[in-house]
């Protein structure tokens, strides 16, 4: 396929591809493939996946690249398999073996009993093999040189950690994890191994969910690369409104659309209607009367107060223009 199969101007195309990332590629590799194939000048992804990991990877094109920051804080769901009895320097199967420990087999009851200790809010240090930067340098670059530095622990939250199955040989176990942004599954796996006194590392990692984006709604990279017509591209391109459909909405009267800009305060009399509940400082999507999303903002009041507030008081502050659409 050539760029001629796209609309006459790729600048007019904006939205998100929900990809099922294949293993063996970095998230940056995926972005480069899409840019090269379709000729988009602006392409970016949300939520980096390790090279060996598969699963949900939102890829934004055009003006919608601004949405990567908006969805950054979404919770994630992972399915991952752990091999017990050995540790690696990366925490996964791509690293060098650091230690081995012989054992007969995992006791499923014992394993299940330690999982509740991981739930809730906790601090977690990013692993050295990660994209976190120190003084502008990714930690993995330092790790490859044999350099280890102190990392600041980050606050994360584990909502659920479930044991799905233990392998027939008793050496491996499959888990499902729902967690907040910034959680490293490799570190969780290592800590499970430590809790059992065996050591462990990840041998399979799939992101099943990213906020309301689910693996069953994703398209494989190979299928996307095989599309050779405009209709096929647009079929798999999520609009801004679809991407942000989980956010409460504030629709603006047509006469006031020209007043929407970054930093603008939207008073009650400019609002056509709202849908969904929101509290002070929560994100809302800002749309025109027909529901096309044009911006993202933060509420300056609770939606429960709207009916009794003077119409001249601000309701939403515009943070980011995301309009463009198809």
- DSSP one-letter string for 17-36: EEEEEPTT--HHHHHHHHHH
Rounded Cα distance between 72 and 153, Å, is 19
Residues 185 and 98 in one domain: yes
- Residue 180 · residue 118 · CB < 8 Å: no
Q: Which domain holds residue 36?
A: 3-73+213-238
Bridge partners, residue 220, by sequence? 20
Which alpha helices (DSSP H) does the chain contain, by range?
A: 27-38, 67-71, 108-114, 139-144, 185-195, 221-225, 230-235, 240-243
Residue 193 lies in a domain: yes
Cβ neighbours, 10 Å, residue 198: 22
The closest of 179, 190, 154, 189 to 75, measured between CA atoms, is 179
| One domain for residues 172 and 230 | no
CATH of the domain at 23: 3.30.2350.10
**For the segment 21-62, what is each residue's pLDDT rounded down to a tens digit?**
999 999 999 999 999 999 888 999 998 899 999 999 999 998
CA distance 73 to 95: 28
pLDDT score at 110: 96
Tens digit of pLDDT per residue, the chain (326 long)? Answer: 344 345 555 556 889 999 999 999 999 999 999 999 998 889 999 988 999 999 999 999 988 898 998 998 999 999 999 999 999 999 999 999 999 999 999 999 999 999 999 999 999 988 888 778 887 888 888 878 888 888 888 999 999 999 999 999 999 999 999 999 999 999 999 999 999 999 999 999 999 999 999 999 999 999 999 998 888 888 999 999 999 999 999 999 999 999 999 999 999 999 999 999 999 999 999 999 999 999 999 999 999 998 888 999 999 999 988 865 43
Spatial distance between the Cα atoms of 174 and 77, rounded to a whole number of angstroms: 14
Whether residue 313 contacts residue 301, with contact meaning beta carbons closer than 8 Å, is answered with: yes
Helix, coil or strand: residue 297: strand
Distance CA 158, CA 23 (A): 25
Both 225 and 206 in one domain: the answer is no
Q: Which residues are catalytic?
A: 50
The pTM of this model reads 0.89
CB 58 within 8 A of CB 30: no
Same domain, 24 and 113: no
Q: What is the DSSP string of 30-78?
A: HHHHHHHHH--S-EEESS---TT-EEEEEEEEGGGGGHHHHHTT--EEE
Q: What is the DSSP secondary-structure string of 204-223?
A: EEEEEEETTEEGGG-EEHHH
Would residue 201 count as lying in a domain?
yes
Cα distances (angstroms) measured from residue 49 to each of 24, 26, 106, 154, 155: 11, 7, 29, 18, 19
Structural domain includes residue 326: no
**Residue 164, both tokens:** 């799905």
> How do beta strands 213-214 and 200-210 pair?
antiparallel
Question: In this structure, is the dihedral angle defined by the CA atoms of residues 116, 117, 123 and 129, taken in order, positive or negative?
Answer: negative
- The residues with which 266 forms a beta bridge, in sequence order, are 316
Do 112 and 188 fall within a single domain? yes
| 140 in Cβ contact with 95 (< 8 Å) | no
Same domain, yes or no, for 83 and 110?
yes
- Same domain flag for 250 and 303: yes
Ramachandran quadrant class, 269 (left: phi over 0; alpha: psi -120 to 50; beta: rest): alpha
Q: Are residues 122 and 229 in the same domain?
A: no
Is residue 203 domain-resident? Answer: yes
For 261, the token pair is 């800009």
What SS3 state is found at 234?
A: helix
- Indicate whether 117 and 175 sit together in one domain: yes
Same domain, 92 and 173: yes
- E strand or H helix at 164: strand 154-166
Number of compact structural domains in the chain: 3
- Based on the fold, state whether residues 89 and 165 are members of the same structural domain: yes
Is there a contact between 323 and 240 (Cβ–Cβ < 8 Å)? yes
Q: What are phi and psi of 273, to 5 degrees?
A: -165, 165
Say if residue 136 is in the same domain as residue 222: no
């Amino acid at each position: 396929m050539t760029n001629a199969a796209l609309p006459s101007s790729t600048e007019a195309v904006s939205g998100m591809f929900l990809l099922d990332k294949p293993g063996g590629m970095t998230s940056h590799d995926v972005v480069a493939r899409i840019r090269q194939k379709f000729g988009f000048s602006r392409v970016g992804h949300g939520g980096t996946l390790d090279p060996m990991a598969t699963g949900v990877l939102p890829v934004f094109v055009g003006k919608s690249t601004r949405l990567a920051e908006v969805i950054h804080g979404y919770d994630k769901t992972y399915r991952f398999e752990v091999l017990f009895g050995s540790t690696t320097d990366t925490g996964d199967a791509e690293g060098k073996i650091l230690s081995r420990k012989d054992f007969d087999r995992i006791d499923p009851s014992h394993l299940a009993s330690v999982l509740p200790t991981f739930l809730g809010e906790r601090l977690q240090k990013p692993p050295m093999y990660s994209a976190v930067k120190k003084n502008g340098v990714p930690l993995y670059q330092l790790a490859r040189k044999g350099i280890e530095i102190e990392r600041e622990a980050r606050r994360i939250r584990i909502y659920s950690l479930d044991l799905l199955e233990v392998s027939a040989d008793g050496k491996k176990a499959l888990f499902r994890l729902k967690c907040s942004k910034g959680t490293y599954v490799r570190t969780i796996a290592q800590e499970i191994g430590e809790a059992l006194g065996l050591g462990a590392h990840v041998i399979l990692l799939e992101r099943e969910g990213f906020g309301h984006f689910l693996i069953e709604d994703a398209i494989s990279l190979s299928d996307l690369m095989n599309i050779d017509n405009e209709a096929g591209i647009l079929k798999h391109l999520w609009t801004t409104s679809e991407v942000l459909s989980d956010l409460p909405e504030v629709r603006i009267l047509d006469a006031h659309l020209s007043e929407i800009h970054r930093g603008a305060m939207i008073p009650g009399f400019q609002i056509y209607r709202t849908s969904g509940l929101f509290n002070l400082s929560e994100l809302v999507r800002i749309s025109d009367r027909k529901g096309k999303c044009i911006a993202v903002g933060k509420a300056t009041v609770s939606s429960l107060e709207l009916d009794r507030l003077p119409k001249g008081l601000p309701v939403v502050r515009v943070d980011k223009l995301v309009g463009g659409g198809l």
